[in-house]
Amino acid sequence: MKIDHFAIEEKYLKLLDALQVQHFPHLHGSALDHLIGVYELLRSWGNREEVCLAGLFHNIYGTEVFKPKAVALEQRQSIAAVIGDEAEHLAYLFCVCRRIGFFDQHGNPEKPALWNEVEQRQLIATAAQIKALMEVEIANGIEQYSPGLELPIRQAQELKGMAEWMRARAKNTVSIGALQALDDVISSIIKNS
């Protein structure tokens, strides 16, 4: 998968530097490397800047899987002042909600419900937010997958199963680029199995 490198505004990189995300280890480098990779995938798939920025800041409050917190939830307003309210709110939702819920078959697609793990309560999102969160989660997963990575057979099969599940749930919602990226992961795993 070829990714064009997109220029990220200096103010966003300065904020990430101030949050010291470069010091948090991540799967294939630092959290900063991962965040930039997610941003670039989202841009390459044609997402709006607000969605790309949500991807650039998608783990700063910690997530259900990535526990380090670059900033406390009480600082949300200061983050929003730099990246904008919409991007910050999407990043917040990504951090505090069960991510599998982004792909659920919501009873009311106009008012999809997510589970807030931090506050232990349900919250209502919009269909546009669900689409954006799906895109960020797919980019998050794709960025961490390395086709040259020698995965144990069981782990490769689990990854393939998750990619197929995401693709089936997101096929009528997300961008062609996100779907193609999932197809590429599935094909790569099949080829290397």
What is the pLDDT, as a whole number, of residue 130? 95
Please state, in angstroms and rounded to a whole number, the distance separating the CA atoms of residues 32 and 121: 30
Contact 76, 85 (CB under 8 A): no
- State residue 50's pLDDT score: 99
Helices 176-192 and 153-170, axial angle in degrees (round to 10): 150
DSSP string, 64-116: SS----SS-GGGHHHHHHHH-HHHHHHHHHHHHB-GGGGGS--SSTTS-EEEE
Q: How confident is the model at residue 2 (pLDDT cuts 50, 70, 90)?
A: very low
What average pLDDT does range 158-173 have in this prediction?
92
What are the angstrom distances between the C-alpha of 131 and each of 35, 112, 145, 146, 190? 19, 11, 21, 24, 27
Residue 187: what residue type?
S
Residue 174 DSSP code:
S
Q: What percent of the chain has pLDDT over 90?
A: 66
Identity of the residue numbered 154: R
Radius of gyration from C-alpha coordinates of the chain = 16
The three-state secondary structure class of 124 is strand
Q: How far apart are CA 23 and CA 14, in angstroms?
A: 14
- Mean predicted lDDT score pLDDT of the chain: 89
pLDDT in tens, 14-48: 999 999 998 887 777 788 999 999 999 999 999 99
